[in-house]
A and B are shown apart, each in its own frame.
Chain A
């Protein structure tokens, strides 16, 4: 069964460094999302992406964040200058369309630790 895959499963980075989290959505999906979960807190929406542009972003998704679909298969989340508070589990998701009966498929997450 097709799956959304995320790499790496765990990334440790130094504060101030740039980090790129990678996701391979399901191949025929058109809509892509990033969510994050800070330890002990709720899973929060970051951004949705369709047709090579951001559809919607939350207030968390500030200028240090960017998303890209560089090659038609990967969907990346870049954090330019990481802060300690960026430490979280980041989930990628994809969906074939955006209608009431479609399901978003999630990856297993990348745990980002900023030290």
Chain B
């Protein structure tokens, strides 16, 4: 069975600063994908960043980057230069290879960006 754990229910960061959200997972699979999804208040959940487990290089998308540690089964999200629009619930998710769009989600981290 796959499990995803986000140990930080809520975090705050000042605008323009950097914040890191933690995620760990447990799986016996070797091929899989990891995701961070963002859900702004009363809005759709949208994909922030995706990481293929077979790639050693950490994924980056503009101000968002991950620190993927496969051996440690850790997948943290770093948000640089935080903006007010980054305020949202962030979900870490796991997907087995070829099990497309069947996600195992963490419980989420609520991020508040303060002006």
Interface centre among A3, A91, A98, A104 (most CB of B within 10 A): A104
Range of interface residues on chain A? Answer: 20 to 34
Interface residues on B, range: 20 to 34
A9 → chain B, closest Cβ, in Å?
8
Determine the chain B residues whose CB is within 8 A of the CB of A76 once the complex forms.
Answer: none
**Would you call B44 and A106 a contact (CB within 8 A)?**
yes
- Kindly identify which residue among B33, B39, B100 contacts A98, using a CB–CB cutoff of 8 Å: B100
**Judging by beta carbons under 8 Å apart, are B106 and A42 in contact?**
yes
- In the bound complex, what is the Cα–Cα distance between A41 and B106 (angstroms)? 9
B52 surroundings in chain A (CB, below 8 A): 100
Q: Residues 47-67 of chain B: 1 if any A CB is under 8 Å from the residue's CB, otherwise 0?
A: 100101000000000000000
A84 beta carbon closer than 8 Å to chain B: no
CA distance A93 to B93 in the complex (A): 15
> In angstroms, how far is the closest chain B Cβ from the Cβ of A89?
10
A43 — which chain B residues lie within 8 A by C-beta? 91, 103, 105, 108
Question: Chain A residues in contact with chain B, CB under 8 A?
Answer: 3-4, 9, 31, 33, 35, 40-45, 48, 56, 91, 93, 95, 98-100, 102-108
Closest A-B pairs by Cβ, 3 of them: A98-B100, A43-B105, A106-B45
With A43-B103, A108-B43 already in contact, 8 other A-B pairs whose C-beta atoms are closer than 8 Å: A31-B101, A35-B105, A40-B107, A42-B108, A91-B45, A98-B101, A105-B46, A106-B46
